[in-house]
């Protein structure tokens, strides 16, 4: 399965032409970690929602506001109620994006965040990737057809003009619930032909597909998985600088999206 950016037509054909041709109005940006979201919240002067669209008592957070013609929303899984750390990973991401899409009916979901990158596939620290496809690498079910269900390969909405305009790199994203990488994960990531690795993308893609909302992924590389530095240490060292790059890229993407319809992105 070679990486490619030339198969968006499947997705485009599946969507009603009315939805593809109307100006994008409501955008939901899912960001797993508070550090990653804060520069964007400040840049767009978004306000925290106090009359929450979410169930009472959950730690999920929504920031919202208008920017030009766009209703912007940044949603986050928030802090784990017991441990106080960001609720990263697929379970909380799925729940938050499900509740968000149900409540806000966005025209487009953007999953923005950090990721590990593979230098053997051309990734370097600070690169921002647009994901062409997403898949899981830790859902091994060695029974025919269930194996494919486990991998859960899905295409991102084709955003070839964003790719060009923002001069991004393109590659496949592989998702699993661990920051580190076991030998089995590594084999699956290789089979997925992934260039970047995260902990939420494929789960969000699953929900977006169920609820028929187009989704794109902007992933900035904080650590090189096939390099010589320990992942957790490299991730923490680069988090602030790479988050600034992610902020710039998402801001440019939002500017580009303003006034456009899905067919033009
Ligand atoms: N110790 C960190 C934990 C963050 S988990 C902390 O300060 O809280 C890593 C987050 O960044 C996840 O949301 C994941 O999507 C992304 N990420 C960055 N590098 C990754 C990698 N190499 N593998 C998997 N996810 C990565």
Per-residue pLDDT reduced to its tens digit, 121-175 = 999 999 999 999 999 999 999 999 999 999 999 999 999 999 999 999 999 999 9
Q: Is residue 63 part of a domain?
A: yes
Q: State the pTM of this model.
A: 0.94
pLDDT of residue 16: 79
Nearest CA to ligand 1 atom 9: 179
* CA of 180, closest atom in ligand 1: 23
210-222 pLDDT tens trace: 999 999 999 999 9
129-140 pLDDT tens trace: 999 999 999 999
**Residue 223 known to be catalytic:** yes
Mutate to test the pocket of ligand 1, among 199, 217, 225 (most ligand atoms within 8 A of CB): 199
- Contact assessment for residue 21 and residue 226, using Cβ atoms and an 8 Å cutoff: no
For residue 11, give every residue at least 6 positions away whose Cβ sits within 8 Å of its Cβ, in sequence order, or none.
155, 157, 158, 214
Q: Is residue 247 part of a domain?
A: yes
Mutate to test the pocket of ligand 1, among 30, 79, 112, 114 (most ligand atoms within 8 A of CB): 114
- Is residue 1's pLDDT more than 90? no
- Which domain, by its residues, includes 205? 25-260
Catalytic residue (choose from 107, 200, 223, 247):
223
pLDDT of residue 264: 95
Half-sphere exposure of 113 (CA within 13 A, CB side): 32
Q: Is residue 255 part of a domain?
A: yes
Q: Is residue 129 part of a domain?
A: yes
CATH number at residue 164: 3.40.50.1580
**Residue 193 known to be catalytic:** no
pLDDT of residue 192: 97
Q: Is residue 12 part of a domain?
A: no
Q: Is residue 8 part of a domain?
A: no
For residue 157, give every residue at least 6 positions away whose Cβ sits within 8 Å of its Cβ, in sequence order, or none.
8, 11, 108, 214, 215, 216, 262, 265
As for how many domains the chain has, the answer is 1
């Amino acid at each position: 399965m070679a990486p490619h950016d030339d198969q968006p037509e499947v997705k485009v054909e599946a969507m009603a032409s009315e939805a593809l041709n109307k100006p994008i109005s409501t955008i939901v940006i899912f960001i797993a970690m508070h550090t990653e979201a804060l520069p964007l919240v400040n840049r767009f002067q978004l306000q925290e929602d106090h009359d929450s669209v979410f169930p009472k008592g959950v730690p999920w957070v929504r920031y919202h506001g208008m920017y030009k013609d766009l209703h912007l929303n940044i949603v986050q899984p928030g802090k784990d109620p017991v441990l106080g750390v960001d609720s990263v990973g697929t379970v909380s991401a799925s729940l938050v994006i499900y509740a968000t899409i149900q409540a806000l009916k966005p025209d487009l979901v953007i999953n923005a965040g950090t990721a590990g990158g593979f230098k053997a596939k051309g990734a370097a620290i600070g690169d921002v990737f647009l994901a062409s496809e997403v898949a899981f690498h830790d859902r091994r079910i060695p029974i025919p057809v269930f194996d494919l269900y486990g991998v859960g390969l899905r295409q991102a909405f084709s955003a070839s003009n964003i790719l060009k305009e923002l001069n991004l790199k393109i590659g496949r994203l592989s998702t699993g619930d661990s920051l580190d990488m076991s030998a089995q994960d590594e084999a699956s990531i290789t089979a997925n032909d992934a260039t970047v690795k995260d902990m939420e993308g494929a789960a969000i893609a699953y929900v977006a597909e169920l609820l028929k909302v187009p989704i794109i992924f902007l992933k900035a590389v904080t650590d090189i998985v096939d390099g010589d530095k320990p992942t957790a240490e490299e991730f923490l060292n680069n988090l602030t600088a790479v988050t600034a790059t992610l902020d710039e890229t998402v801001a440019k993407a939002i500017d580009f999206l303003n006034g456009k319809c899905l067919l033009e992105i």
